[in-house]
Structure 1
Amino acid sequence: MSTVDLGDVDRFTVAALGPVGQRTFLLQCRSEQTVLTLKVEKQQVAVLAEYLGRLLRDLPRPGHLPEDLEVEEPVEPHWVVGTMGVSYDAELDRIVLIAEELVPEDEEGDAARFTVTREQAAAFAVRATRLVEAGRPPCPLCGGPIDPSGHACPRTNGHRPPTN
């Protein structure tokens, strides 16, 4: 497994490209001249945002949050994220993130390690939560996404599908 260690990043953000229901989620960070763009699933974004929010609640309040969170070129992902790990380094006052490439079980993929400030993590969590919530609402019965045209909920056996 080859690991890219970006250290402290200058920028850490998330984006959702495309129409609702067909969006591609991207996690992006920049360290000096290196821009790393990774494809992630919506659920991964939601879980990461929630986890960062919980982690930040137990730490000193962040200062001013970064505002320029638009993704930059290149937006073509380097690879797809399979797993992510998050920890807090109290000595450096940094949140450490490790993203590992999604690969078949018998293969080794790439990994990226980078650290973010509490402010960057908070801004990411806010932006990520807004992006996730802007998508299709979940079905109250099965939790699956409801398209504008409705959805055939497996919990109703196809009868009276919930609508948006």
Structure 2
Amino acid sequence: MSASFDLDGLEHFTVGTIGPPGQRVFYLQAGVTGTLVTLKLEKQQVAALAEYLAGALREIADDPDAILPEADLGLIDPVEAEWAVGDIGIGYDADADRLLIMATEVPSQDDPGEPATARFHITRGQVAGFVARAREVVSAGRPPCRYCGAPLNDDGGWCACSN
């Protein structure tokens, strides 16, 4: 069974990738002094999480554009994923004015135990920074085919739909 995490007072919360377009691996990373948690995600999970968080920020903030995003949003080495994320849930703690992201590990057929979970309590600034960074890394991939929208092959000029 993998380790579970519940981190509050985060000093670092970001998303990033390793690898060339078409072969990138996406990571969610959160940290407090002495603890750094890195989880593996899919590109679609990053995009969906960013858009949902952007909407949540609009709901809870009077002027979401006035929120200053966190500054340093690069991945911290070593980037070693604890586990791969399956489900992601989001909540809001109005008393603490924090959004809560809860990630659940992809269940393993080899391990019949409960999947691990990670809970990250993040500030509005961390949300704003995450959304901007996530949109940046998602859009940095291969360009889409103008006909079907699927990513073009590695040389950027061919899609199976044009065959």
Q: TM-score, length-normalised on structure 1? A: 0.86
Distance 1:139 1:53 in 2: 26
Equivalent position of 2:158 in the other structure: 150
Deviations 1:37-86 (A, max 9, x none): 00100000000000011111112235322111111122011110011111
Higher relative contact order (Cα pairs below 8 Å, separated by 6+ residues) = 2
Distance 1:8 1:142 in 2: 43
Aligned-residue offset at 1:143: 3.4
Contact 2:4 / 2:117 at 8 angstroms: preserved in 1?
yes
Decide which moves more: 92-101 or 133-142: 133-142
Q: Of 84, 87, 90, which aligns to 1:83? A: 87
Which structure has more strand as a fraction of its residues? 1
Contact 2:10 / 2:122 at 8 angstroms: preserved in 1?
yes
Decide which moves more: 65-74 or 22-31: 65-74
Equivalent position of 1:40 in the other structure: 41
Unaligned ranges ≥5, structure 2: none
Distance 1:18 1:48 in 2: 21
Q: TM-score, length-normalised on structure 2? A: 0.87
Equivalent position of 2:73 in the other structure: 69
Contact 2:87 / 2:104 at 8 angstroms: preserved in 1?
yes
Equivalent position of 1:156 in the other structure: none
Q: Alignment identity in percent? A: 45
Unaligned ranges ≥5, structure 1: 154-159
